[in-house]
Structure 1
Amino acid sequence: MCAVGAHMMWGFFPLYWHLLDYVPSATLTAYRVIWSFLLLMTLSIAMPRLRRALLQLREPRKLAIYAATATMIGINWGAFMYAVGSGQVLQASLGYYINPLLNVLLGVVVLGERLKPFQWIAVGFAAVGVAVMVMMGSGMPWIALAMASAFAVYGLLKKKATLPPLEGLSIETGLLFPAALAFLLLQSPDPGAQPYSPVTWLLLIIGGALTIAPLALFATAAKRVTLTTIGILQYVGPTLQWFVGVVLLGEAFGGSKLIGFLFVWTGVTVFIVGGLQMQSRATRQARQVALAE
């Protein structure tokens, strides 16, 4: 339930941030960073481990790693906010669909891992899907690629960052906090802009809470749910985002977008089925070894 709840929250995120579409995406990203950090610091009063996490920044190596992860999550959040604010939620959905495939590809390029044949096929289908969108007139899905690439690099860097999710997010938002605050203080005021209403401020504060809540749920689930289940559930979020974009927000979905998504969905299906088969074989082999002993 925690895992499903986390992915459902991520899936319906565009619908929430759409309520604030009158706030520029860069400003919205800055407020998301600020309120997430302030709420995490408030939580640290009752959770000493969050306070202790900040002490990790005294070690230069960990500071460098978390500075890099903070940069990547900042790019991901910024691209996501831009996607929602510009009415391109489908690009956000596409980004999270291809992210797991980019993860395995990054493992080959950076870590020297070997992909299974089904993984190469899955990556190939996703690549064809993106190429179809480009060649048939939809243009390069830069937002989706920025989101997926930043999050893939974020996941790679997280292998070197050993802190739990909330502690890690405390450090990352803490590192982004000065830049976000400076951006808000130094931006030129719009003479015709109206001051934010109490409802807007409330929505911005809740946005910080909604950033933290699914991570807490996911951290709880990750300790109790198999990696196979987690791997399948990661597609709940982009599927719901697709639903929000097409059904609830009325984005156009046809022609090259439809064909491109069909290729990506085929790649995702190959990726999931192949992973389940590989996990099943590993389980059978483990049982055979246990019986032999």
Structure 2
Amino acid sequence: MARLFALLRKSNSGVWASLGSSVIWGSLPLYWYLLREFPPLYVLCHRVVWACLFLFPLVVALRRVQEVANAARNARTLRILFCSSLVLAVNWGVYIWAVNNGKVVEASLGYFINPLITICMGVVFFRDRPRPIHWVAIAVAFAGVGAEIGISGSVPWAALALSITFSCYGLLRKISPVESLPGLAMETGILLPFSLAFIVWCHYSGIAAVSGAGGVSLLLLVGSGVITSVPLILFAYGARHLQLMTLGILQYLSPLLTALLGLFAFHEPLTLGRALSLGSVWLALVLYTADSFRQHVRAREKS
């Protein structure tokens, strides 16, 4: 009985940790909006710098320095982390740009599409064999995106860029032997010199928004490192204490919250094309999740 209660406590703490990470990620548009006075690339560079300065002491405190040292001695691992750091920088930069250019709902669409893009990448790179219903889900999702393109006459580039870069990041991290915390610390470390150089250049070039930044804005820039790192830590904790099915369902909360913020906090218009694409992607995710849940139940019954 005591063991059962211990397991339940771990499961509940995992749920709360995963919920916390999803809520923080889903609410990030509010944070980046507060920094809209700065160029997106400048905000991105500060995010990298302060995340790096937050993560490396954490790696030391958690006694995971040896993992970083082992990865740094492996040329293949370094190449993978270099590529993943570039993809991550593009993903972060596009997201910040999208928020401050009235494309919050489009950004949420990108993260809704992401699981389906990941399936496609699994087929191409790992020769995965998706179930027929997964192909139906992919077709439904992309039919909706195609309908939006046809109706609006424009491609949702931000959504596609976010979904593709995040899927590529997941692919690279899948083949990397480094775990999430030391891996992200190393990725931000790789980007650190470039980010510092750009920040210094912005200050010396006399960009008005940068030169006239007040104390609150500077604190928000520093806080971008914390707001980047904390949800990752919560997510990693939740992943250790939750079943993958539960974790996957909770992850949909983040883009849903982002979409709601875009519609009701940022008052972005919901056009017919965007409604069709969102509706199609949500239907696709229902099909995908329902089938995954059914397979999960069958697997547990057999075990």
TM-score range, shorter chain: over 0.9
Q: What is the alpha-carbon distance in structure 1 between the residues aligned to residue 193 and residue 211 of structure 2?
A: 25
Aligned residues of 1:44 and 1:51 also touching (Cα < 8 A): no
Runs of 4+ more than 3 Å apart: 191-194
Structure 1 residues 217-239: Cα deviation after superposition (integer angstroms, max 9, x where no partner): 01111111000011111100000
State the 1:133 CA deviation: 1.2
Q: What is the alpha-carbon distance in structure 2 between the residues aligned to residue 51 and residue 182 of structure 1?
A: 28
**Equivalent residue pairs, number:** 286
Partner amino acid for 1:214?
P
State the 1:58 CA deviation: 2.1
Q: What is the alpha-carbon distance in structure 1 between the residues aligned to residue 29 and residue 299 of structure 2?
A: 38
Q: What's 1:289 paired with?
A: none
Q: What is the alpha-carbon distance in structure 2 between the residues aligned to residue 207 and residue 51 of structure 1?
A: 27
C-alpha change, 1:55 and 1:284, in structure 2 (3 Å) is closer
Q: Does 1:22 align with 2:17?
A: no
State the 1:260 CA deviation: 1.4
SS in 2 for 1:223: helix
Partner amino acid for 2:183?
G
Aligned residues of 2:54 and 2:226 also touching (Cα < 8 A): yes
Q: How does 1:110-259 map to 2 (within 5 A)?
A: 110-137=125-152, 139-187=154-202, 188-190=205-207, 194-259=211-276
Aligned residues of 2:51 and 2:228 also touching (Cα < 8 A): yes
Structure 1 residues 81-134: Cα deviation after superposition (integer angstroms, max 9, x where no partner): 111111211111011000011001110111111110111011111111110111
Aligned residues of 1:50 and 1:166 also touching (Cα < 8 A): no
C-alpha change, 1:113 and 1:183, in structure 2 (3 Å) is same
Q: Does 1:94 align with 2:109?
A: yes
Aligned residues of 2:47 and 2:221 also touching (Cα < 8 A): yes
Partner amino acid for 2:274?
K
Aligned residues of 1:3 and 1:221 also touching (Cα < 8 A): yes
Partner amino acid for 1:17?
W
Instruction: Tell me which protein shows more helix as a share of its residues.
Output: 2
Q: What's 2:297 paired with?
A: 280
Partner amino acid for 2:32?
W
Q: What is the alpha-carbon distance in structure 1 between the residues aligned to residue 100 and residue 252 of structure 2?
A: 23
Which moved further from structure 2: 78-87 or 43-52?
A: 43-52
TM value normalised by structure 2? 0.90
Structure 1 residues 20-77: Cα deviation after superposition (integer angstroms, max 9, x where no partner): 1111111111110011001123334523314751452121111001111111111110
Partner amino acid for 1:19?
L
Q: Once the two structures are aligned, what percentage of the paired residues are identical?
A: 34
Q: What is the alpha-carbon distance in structure 2 between the residues aligned to residue 192 and residue 227 of structure 1?
A: 44
Aligned residues of 2:67 and 2:178 also touching (Cα < 8 A): no
Q: What's 1:43 paired with?
A: 58
Q: Does 1:63 align with 2:59?
A: no
Aligned residues of 1:36 and 1:209 also touching (Cα < 8 A): yes
Structure 1 residues 198-244: Cα deviation after superposition (integer angstroms, max 9, x where no partner): 10111111111010000000111111100001111110000000011
Q: What is the alpha-carbon distance in structure 2 between the residues aligned to residue 73 and residue 113 of structure 1?
A: 24
Q: What's 2:93 paired with?
A: 78
Q: What is the alpha-carbon distance in structure 1 between the residues aligned to residue 208 and residue 136 of structure 2?
A: 54
Q: What is the alpha-carbon distance in structure 1 between the residues aligned to residue 104 and residue 164 of structure 2?
A: 17
Partner amino acid for 1:112?
R
Aligned residues of 1:54 and 1:170 also touching (Cα < 8 A): no
Aligned residues of 2:140 and 2:284 also touching (Cα < 8 A): yes
